[in-house]
Structure 1
Amino acid sequence: MDEILQFKEWIEKSNRIVFFGGAGVSTESGIPDFRSVDGLYHQKYDYPPEQILSHSFFLKKPEYFYQFYRDKMLYTNAKPNITHTKLAELESLGKLSAVITQNIDGLHQKAGSKNVLELHGSVLRNHCMKCGKFYDMDSIIKSNGIPRCECTGVIKPDVVLYEEPLDEEVMTRAIHAISSADMLIVGGTSLSVYPAAGFIDYYTGNRLVLINKSATPYDSQADLLIQQSLGDVFGSI
């Protein structure tokens, strides 16, 4: 049977679908991923992106961190693409129970998805490290150098940096969603970042769909492997 036909048939039969997505979900909205040939990890800076986006670097060199962050992590004009839109539709139809994302761009919510579990946080939320006051993304964009609160505290994005743990509550909810899913769609992720990639092991059903252009360490475990772009796959359902 054709892969897309099989995919559509499983969606029709399922009522607790969970989508687990990575950077590849947003590349078609113009947001580059990290590990592809022209991704962030292949661009030249004074420091490697992994180092700049680490907790210790943020504390040591916040001005440089924010220079990189404003330049490379904030995409104010990005709009949801067909994958975001179709997932929101599946949720509104009562077929999709959760979107679990490694992305920090907020595009799933912009497309209309309600139950979105953000494993790595969001650029749309920022808080003062001293008093906890909330700041939106515009506040960061309009600020110069190190953004500071009225109380003089440094403002930090609600993004999980390297060396920082994932939010326990979000992880628990993600694991629960996956373990109770009757179909798990994994898309746009190399499945190489842990602990997030290991969440797939909590799925016990027989409709594990992997959609990714390149190979992943979990390909052999997939019940259905589709090596095409997410836009092409979701555009056909």
Structure 2
Amino acid sequence: MSAHDDLIEAAASLILDSKKTVALTGDAIAKGAITSFNADNRLFNKYDPEEYAHIATLQKNPARSWMLLGNTIKVIQKSELDPAYLLLAELEKKGLLATIITNNFDNRHQVAGSRNVIELQGNIMNLSCMNCNEKYSATEVSIEELPPRCKCGGVLRPDAVLFGEKITFEAVVKTREEVENCELMLVIGTGELMQPVASMPLIANENGAKIIEINPEKTILTFIADIFIEGTPSEILGEIVKWIENNTELNV
């Protein structure tokens, strides 16, 4: 057994022993995908998110803002679902993952089948009317029209946190409650997290939770990790789920 195999077994064992596990996911969970406006994507070379995805631009010139917002939605809709999302959904189905806290706005966790997801940056695939607050899915409206409009005539906006806006108080409160009461936190695909997201693993650690970090490279959070496994989230999660299935009767 290699050192890598030892880490997989140790991580799987912690997951099996934990009474409440939460996962924190970020941009690096899926390579090349648009998971947030901070994601590394060629689309943002054409449209600067800090201008086009700013709430002031949406309010003053919604057609301009929707040039980026619409293209972002199209890219997400066409993107393949990374196996990491499916593997986390499988852990939830097995009763081994209570909550996913994500810094991503792309709705991929829900598409994969995860049900208990806290979206700190909101969800770009859900839209609201800026006039009457009517709710829509991005699949229900034509995003070819710039800007897309509600049946009342009002301009639609994505339910994502835009530049110039803050994470909602409700999302922060729900996240802290989950973090303070977990026994284990999986930190997956996180890079340069901003506050308050970056503090969540620290809060979990201070409350006695174990930390498993799965990332392509070390991060500013690695120093608190009980287990750090270097690699792509889909690869490492796949090995963990396989170990669990080979050593328990938790198959779904």
Q: Among 223, 226, 238, which residue is 1:223 paired with?
A: 226
**Aligned position for 2:22:** 18
**Aligned position for 2:239:** 236
**Aligned position for 1:67:** 67
How many angstroms apart in 2 are the aligned matches of 1:42 and 1:78?
14
User: TM-score, normalised to structure 2's length?
Assistant: 0.83
The structural deviation recorded for 1:42 is 8.6
**Aligned position for 1:103:** 104
Gaps of 5+ in 1: none
Whichever residue aligns with residue 48 of structure 2, its letter is P
> Residue 73 of structure 2 contacts residue 125 of structure 2 at CA under 8 Å; is this kept in 1?
no
Using the TM superposition, name which of 179-188 and 47-56 deviates more.
47-56
How many angstroms apart in 1 are the aligned matches of 2:43 and 2:157?
25
> Residue 142 of structure 2 contacts residue 148 of structure 2 at CA under 8 Å; is this kept in 1?
no
Deviations 1:158-189 (A, max 9, x none): 01112212122221111111111111001111
> Residue 33 of structure 2 contacts residue 41 of structure 2 at CA under 8 Å; is this kept in 1?
no
Q: Give the 3 Å change call, closer, same or farther, for CA 154–117 of structure 1 in structure 2.
A: same
> Residue 103 of structure 2 contacts residue 119 of structure 2 at CA under 8 Å; is this kept in 1?
yes
The structural deviation recorded for 1:191 is 3.9
The structural deviation recorded for 1:41 is 7.5
How many angstroms apart in 2 are the aligned matches of 1:143 and 1:43?
19
SS of match in other structure, 1:198: helix
Q: Is 2:92 aligned against 1:88?
A: no
**Aligned position for 2:151:** 150
SS of match in other structure, 1:217: coil
- 1:1-237 to structure 2, matched below 5 A, reads 2-27=6-31, 31-32=33-34, 39-40=40-41, 43-45=44-46, 48-74=48-74, 75-203=76-204, 204-237=207-240
SS of match in other structure, 2:126: strand
The structural deviation recorded for 1:142 is 4.0
The structural deviation recorded for 1:140 is 4.4
How many angstroms apart in 1 are the aligned matches of 2:121 and 2:38?
16
Whichever residue aligns with residue 56 of structure 1, its letter is A
How many angstroms apart in 1 are the aligned matches of 2:16 and 2:132?
48
Aligned residues: 232
Q: Provide the identity percentage.
A: 28
User: TM-score, normalised to structure 1's length?
Assistant: 0.88
> Residue 67 of structure 1 contacts residue 145 of structure 1 at CA under 8 Å; is this kept in 2?
yes
**Aligned position for 2:249:** none
CA-atom RMSD in angstroms? 2.2
Q: Give the 3 Å change call, closer, same or farther, for CA 81–43 of structure 1 in structure 2.
A: closer
Gaps of 5+ in 2: 241-252
The structural deviation recorded for 1:138 is 2.2
> Residue 40 of structure 1 contacts residue 49 of structure 1 at CA under 8 Å; is this kept in 2?
no
SS of match in other structure, 2:23: strand
